[in-house]
């Protein structure tokens, strides 16, 4: 492992490793984080506070004709109340995450909206819809009126037909894949309690997504 000289910070590859270590542990005290890197706190401070320098997820511009995608929103809790809103008694941001239904790889992460924004609005305004284009995309029942493939709803006093029930069962099984992706992403502790201000949580999401893809692809 290489390190830069005094006052010059950490080399690019080590800076990326330092940022990832911070995302994984979410340690708030730099003295706990920097010893393995053999650098001073002053050298590490700009790097651990500047995740923009890290490699980030680049959304796909085109998808194969038969590709099926899954979208859902996740609400990472964040302490910066200027960019978040309270939902379920905690401040969070709504991130729309798009996953390939076949490979389970993350293909796009929308820009964050305040956590009290519903998934329909977040889908439209976060850039996730633009990233997907016309590719077939399935979603849960929280995206009505968006044109996404959702489960059938039972009207009051009516029963769903057999084929609709079968479709809902299949839909639920496929949609569960994005929930498993969220579970794996949140093993990175920063997504369970983000202390960064401004776009910090978004840069963390964009950096953790390719790490998830790399681990999944082996």
Are both 48 and 105 inside the same structural domain? no
pLDDT in tens, the chain (218 residues): 344 444 444 455 666 677 777 788 776 655 556 666 555 555 555 555 555 545 677 777 688 889 999 999 999 988 888 777 777 678 899 999 999 999 999 999 999 998 888 899 999 999 999 999 999 999 999 898 899 999 998 888 788 899 999 999 999 999 999 999 999 999 998 898 888 777 888 888 998 999 899 888 86
Residue 62 belongs to a domain? no
Residue-by-residue DSSP string for 161-177 = -HHHHHHHHHHHHHHHH
Domain count, the chain: 2
Residue 147 belongs to a domain? yes
For residue 44, what are the domain limits? 12-53
Residue 5 belongs to a domain? no
Mean pLDDT for all residues in the chain: 81
Give the phi and the psi of residue 108 in degrees, each rounded to 5. -160, 145
Residue 72 belongs to a domain? yes
Are both 115 and 189 inside the same structural domain? yes
Are both 175 and 74 inside the same structural domain? yes
Confidence (pTM): 0.80
Residue 63 belongs to a domain? no
Tell me the C-alpha distance between 204 and 22, whole Å. Answer: 10
């Amino acid at each position: 492992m290489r390190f830069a000289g005094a006052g010059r910070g950490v080399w690019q590859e080590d800076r990326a490793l330092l940022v990832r270590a911070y995302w994984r542990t979410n340690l708030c005290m730099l003295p706990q984080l920097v010893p393995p890197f053999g650098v001073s706190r002053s050298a590490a401070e700009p790097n651990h506070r500047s995740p923009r320098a890290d490699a980030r997820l680049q959304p796909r511009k085109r998808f194969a004709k038969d590709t099926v995608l899954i979208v859902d929103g996740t609400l990472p809790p964040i302490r910066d109340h200027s960019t978040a809103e309270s939902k379920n008694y905690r401040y969070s941001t709504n991130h729309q995450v798009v996953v390939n239904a076949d490979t389970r790889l993350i293909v796009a992460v929308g820009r964050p909206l305040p956590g009290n924004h519903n998934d329909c609005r977040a889908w439209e305004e976060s850039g996730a819809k633009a990233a997907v284009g016309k590719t077939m995309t399935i979603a849960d029942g929280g995206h009505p009126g968006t044109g996404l493939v959702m489960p059938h709803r039972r009207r009051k006093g009516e029963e769903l037909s057999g084929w609709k029930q079968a479709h809902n069962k299949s839909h639920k099984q496929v949609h569960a894949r994005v929930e498993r992706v969220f579970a794996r992403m949140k093993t990175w502790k920063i997504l369970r309690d983000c202390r960064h201000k401004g776009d910090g949580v978004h840069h963390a999401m964009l950096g953790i997504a390719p790490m998830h893809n790399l681990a999944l692809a082996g």
